[in-house]
């Protein structure tokens, strides 16, 4: 008897949304990351809250890709939520480079819009102020944004920024390939460049994980970076263990697979150019 590893949850815009069994590992990683023995129930709740809203954010991110692809004549088989995020199975891609660029950008744009709404919510719904003394002895009001809205905002800022990294076949990598085509490169040559950049990121992440695991060496963020800059620095250079290794493997494997497909497409069908 074969173990079922994914389930169809529902359909949205006639696109099946599936949940992969690997989400259980994602839940375990999040709960472990935020677990605090002094507040066990609260920390587990934080982990589960992040899981739920991360999956919702990923679904909206992938749905943006899918609807944009459909608007340009593409076809979408399904959307799968899994350990490494989401995957919209687009069986027929838009036919022009600028259309693929917009399709790839639609996901990060959606994430940033969700973050903007969450920042608004954190400021005006549930935030509070406390009176405090400034170093000069003056009474000031210190504002604290709502914790849960802030988590949603940070999740989506991270999701959007990470996907904009030019690591093909991630969104930023597809945008890079499309831009190279719009500036005159053939689809094959543009894909080769995008795959090369993606492999550079994959190699960087493998090296960072090895340095962290074997020698306890991390790349420190410059001290003059503001909080948002530090957050973005950690997205690229922070530790990530097994998850970051899996992402590096995915970039290497699927980038090579698509490069081979594009070469065959160019040889037998002429590609886009």
Domain chopping of the chain, boundaries: 165-273
Phi, psi values for residue 234, rounded to 5°: -70, -25
Q: Mean pLDDT, the chain, as a whole number? A: 87
pTM above threshold 0.85: yes
Distance CA 201, CA 164 (A): 12
pLDDT of the residue at 129: 58
pLDDT at 270: 62
Q: Which residues contact 246 (CB under 8 A, 6 or more apart)?
A: 83, 84
Question: Residue 10 in contact with residue 17, Cβ under 8 Å?
Answer: yes
Q: Which residues are catalytic?
A: 62
- Measured distance CA(260)–CA(45) in Å, rounded: 44
Residue 145: the pLDDT is 75
* Segments of the chain scoring below 50 in pLDDT: 1, 272-273
pLDDT, position 1: 47
Give pLDDT tens digits for 218-239.
888 888 888 888 888 888 887 6
Helix (H, G, I), strand (E, B) or coil at 39: coil
Contact yes or no for 63/15 (Cβ under 8 A) = yes
71, HSE (Cβ side, Cα atoms, 13 Å):
11
Q: Quick one: pLDDT at residue 240? A: 67
Give the integer Cα–Cα distance in Å for 212 and 44: 26
What is the spatial distance between Cα 266 and Cα 194, in angstroms, rounded to a whole number? 16
């Amino acid at each position: 008897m074969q173990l079922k590893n994914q389930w169809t949850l529902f359909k949205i815009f006639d696109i099946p949304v599936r949940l992969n069994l690997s989400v259980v590992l994602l839940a375990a990683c999040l709960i472990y990351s935020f677990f605090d023995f002094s507040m066990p129930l609260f920390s587990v709740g934080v982990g589960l809250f992040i899981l739920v809203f991360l999956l919702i954010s990923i679904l909206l991110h992938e749905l943006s890709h899918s609807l944009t692809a459909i608007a340009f004549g593409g076809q979408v088989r399904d959307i799968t939520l899994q350990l490494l995020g989401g995957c919209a199975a687009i069986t027929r891609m838009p036919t022009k480079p600028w259309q693929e660029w917009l399709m790839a950008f639609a996901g990060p744009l959606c994430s940033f819009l969700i973050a903007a709404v969450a920042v608004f919510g954190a400021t005006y719904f549930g935030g509070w102020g406390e009176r405090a003394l400034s170093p000069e002895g003056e009474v000031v009001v210190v504002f604290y944004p709502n914790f849960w809205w802030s988590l949603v905002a940070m999740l989506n800022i991270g999701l959007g920024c990470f996907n904009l990294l030019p690591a093909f076949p991630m969104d930023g990598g597809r945008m890079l390939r499309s831009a190279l085509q719009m500036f005159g490169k053939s689809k094959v040559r543009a894909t080769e460049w995008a795959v090369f950049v993606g492999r550079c990121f994959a190699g960087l992440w493998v090296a960072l994980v090895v340095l962290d695991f074997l020698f306890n060496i991390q790349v420190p963020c410059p001290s003059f970076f503001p909080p948002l800059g530090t957050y973005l620095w950690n997205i690229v250079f922070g530790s990530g263990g097994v998850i970051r290794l899996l992402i590096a493997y995915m970039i290497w494997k699927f980038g090579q697979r698509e490069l081979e497909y594009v070469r065959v497409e160019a040889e037998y069908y002429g590609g886009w150019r």
